[in-house]
Structure 1
């Protein structure tokens, strides 16, 4: 058995792999449950892990550049509709996407996968181009956050860097920015704070309408394997993919047993039934086949936003052994 480091998020769909109910064939894993920010920074800067979650945006960017340290498998452990990813000041007068034009919008990093999806959503569904917004970049909760990768911005896009001791949370609170865009809401965004609200009054309804129109459930993270390791052990990528697929299957079976709710949240049974009704029983699919249209839209948007210098083919992102699977 090979002992390999595995850095992943502590999600229900990963938990069977974390606790050993799902296993990677031939691997004795050293599992670390980390935040996305820590995983991505250490993976992109230092190749710190043998197997880890990767930002789809960073992986696409590095693949286009030809220096990707990891090769991915199509286990999409993080997905989210990002209609909740735009938060505005209640006194900003911004009640619809078009009113973001000319406004100062804070972002932690330009190339975050969530922000690629949100910019694509704004441009394609609401006619708000990246050039229409005054971007302000820096740490959300702590000063000093940097972009993980070097950027070539699209023509007409300008990003203002915040002060060395500033945070976007505080700038949103005191009105130096009108809105915030990103995957993680500021800690001040709580129901008791009436000074902040989502851009969309009903983001769930907006997301459901978006899915009905596009059949896109946005992908955020993939699972990466260090390229040198995959080249040395060509059996490993499929073993990793199988383990993550098994882990998700166990989690969904657990979630579907509603005699006693498995997560600490009301309305779970209703939401599960609603998701299946809209998206089908396999509402969180892994594998390239059922997700090709999602991936193609993302890579096209990524290139249009000048994050990838060329269009990246889907087959470049994933190990060839995981592009298809056997049937019985």
Structure 2
């Protein structure tokens, strides 16, 4: 029997990737050689700029931009990170309460304008409060992972020498969007006070959670080793199916072209509204290469 094809891989550590990273779940056809990147978003630019990895977790906003700009990546119908987002918009209590309607014309910090958590918060602010992306001055320190993308004129760039919580403490920004680095304790408070209830109602209405990260493979890997890609995708699905159910009952994973159609279509519309894409994409275009490789496996 031939040795399994080895794929240089970056995935975050989640309950639904644990069996893959521990080696408890394996395949005779493919071996995932994991590279640990912390935080995982630091793998995104090398993936879309240089195809640094064979298989990598990728923010959905970055993935859609990469496809629109013709970068050599193939997006698989595999979601590995989703989150209810409204609680990620915070203010500093010492400067007085802040409501969503106070953000019109205000400076709001986010790591990058293209960060997916920021994408969803802006969508929620528009949907719930009528605040368009351009109604707020977005203060960022990081550029887009896709080099060709230029931020809109209402985005301000600052140096990365101070964290967003520190900028909040200093009163430089009115609010900030943070993700996995959301600070704990009573020093900060959510701008959207009833965020949990509104988020759950949104997820119930749409039938999915807002997507943060998916999985992509390099175009070269997809073309030269398609069977290994199919085997890797099957492993991802197996690992997710075997993972413990989340405590809140809301799945962070999702697989399959049909299951992802509505979620990706909404994300594409949101990206267009926020000037994140150079041209309109369709769901069919987003998954065309993956569908050719996965076939019925991606159903």
TM-score by length of 2: 0.88
Alpha-carbon offset, residue 283 of structure 1 = 7.3
Could you tell me how far apart the structure 1 residues matched to 2:99 and 2:160 are?
Answer: 32
- Judge conservation of contact 2:257–2:298 (CA < 8 Å) in 1: no
In structure 2, the CA distance between the partners of 1:163 and 1:33, relative to structure 1 (3 Å rule), is: closer
RMSD: 2.3
Residue aligning to 2:297? 325
Larger mean CA deviation between 32-41 and 108-117 belongs to 32-41
Residue aligning to 2:116? 113
Map 1:185-224 → 2, pairs under 5 A: 185-186=181-182, 189-191=183-185, 194-224=186-216
CA displacement, residues 257-313 of structure 1 (integer Å, 9 cap, x when unaligned): xxxxxxxxxxx4xx33xx4xxxxxx77432121221111000111122221122212
In structure 2, the CA distance between the partners of 1:166 and 1:20, relative to structure 1 (3 Å rule), is: closer
Residue aligning to 1:298? 267
Could you tell me how far apart the structure 1 residues matched to 2:25 and 2:282 are?
Answer: 31
Could you tell me how far apart the structure 2 residues matched to 1:242 and 1:42 are?
Answer: 25
- Number of residue pairs aligned between Structure 1 and Structure 2: 291
Could you tell me how far apart the structure 1 residues matched to 2:259 and 2:97 are?
Answer: 36
Could you tell me how far apart the structure 2 residues matched to 1:177 and 1:123 are?
Answer: 20
Alpha-carbon offset, residue 163 of structure 1 = 4.0
Could you tell me how far apart the structure 2 residues matched to 1:108 and 1:164 are?
Answer: 9
Work out whether 1:151 is the aligned partner of 2:154. no
Alpha-carbon offset, residue 94 of structure 1 = 4.7
Unaligned runs of 5+ residues in structure 1 are 139-144, 257-267, 276-281
Residue aligning to 1:54? 58
Residue aligning to 1:236? 228
Alpha-carbon offset, residue 162 of structure 1 = 1.7
- Judge conservation of contact 1:115–1:181 (CA < 8 Å) in 2: yes
Residue aligning to 1:17? 20
In structure 2, the CA distance between the partners of 1:3 and 1:185, relative to structure 1 (3 Å rule), is: closer
Could you tell me how far apart the structure 1 residues matched to 2:78 and 2:298 are?
Answer: 16
Unaligned runs of 5+ residues in structure 2 are none
Work out whether 1:136 is the aligned partner of 2:139. yes
TM-score by length of 1: 0.81
Alpha-carbon offset, residue 153 of structure 1 = 4.1
Could you tell me how far apart the structure 1 residues matched to 2:257 and 2:298 are?
Answer: 14
